[in-house]
Amino acid sequence: MINIIFWDVDGTLLNFLAAESAAVKGLFLKFGFGKCSDEMIAEYSQINKKYWKQIEKGEITKEEALRARFVEFFASHGLPVAAAEKFNAEYQVRLGDTVAYCDNSFEIVRSLRGKVKQYAASNGTVVAQKRKLKNSGLDALMDGIFLSEAVGAEKPDVRFFNAAFGFIEKSGIKIEKENTLIVGDSLTSDILGGKNAGIKTCFYNPRGEKNTSNVSPDYEIKNLNEIYDILKKA
């Protein structure tokens, strides 16, 4: 019986793409770069995903990646790459200004409070994630929040989960891996990380994208409300 859930944040509980778009578009105007079109946002999003994959593989540090993504994006549009560092710093704050829930995630997390222990587990920056979780009200519903910057390791690294397990057990809660579940939208971060840690995994796949990786989740859902059925079965 599942008694602990780790929730990924971006793309699982909260709509990251909506926050990303609003933040970049707003900062383009503030920095005097003009209008940032939806096509440009889509281009940036792909660049961003590329760098996050490199972070997950340990090929680049997060600090390097967060700056490099904007350097690459700005260079492709003839914008001053020297502004990338300042732009990124302000971007981290702006990400928390737009709150859009995936499905009815807030109500789901609230309904499970007291029935299972729930923890946020994110690779996002401390600045961005703390602001998002506070503004969304999700922070008050969680039994704990684990952010890779504070933990010292990124999902899917097992050290991220071991650190979380250690913290939870210090609070007096016994970790039973067969009764612990991670829910996330990334096969290479959340699901692989869960596999590495020996816990159950649930792939949140709202667009029904084909899994071409060699990572096989224990469960797959298209809507977060399906979590209730999993909790009944598991």
Query: How far is the first Cα of the chain from the last one, in angstroms, to the nearest whole number?
Result: 5
Which contiguous run of DSSP H or E holds residue 162?
A: helix 158-170
* Beta-carbon contacts of residue 39 (< 8 Å; ≥ 6 apart): none
For the chain, how many residues are written? Answer: 234
Pairs from 69-72 (Cβ < 8 Å, separation ≥ 24): 69/44, 72/47
For residues 216 and 223, give the distance between their C-alpha atoms in angstroms, rounded to a whole number. 18
Whole-Å CA distances, 153 to 66, 160, 166, 225: 16, 5, 14, 30
Residue 117 near residue 1, CB atoms below 8 Å? no
Give just the sign of the alpha carbon dihedral 11, 161, 106, 218.
positive
Active site residue 139: no
Q: Identify the active-site residue in 8, 10, 185, 190.
A: 8
* Cis peptide bond upstream of 156, omega within 30: yes
**Positions marked catalytic:** 8
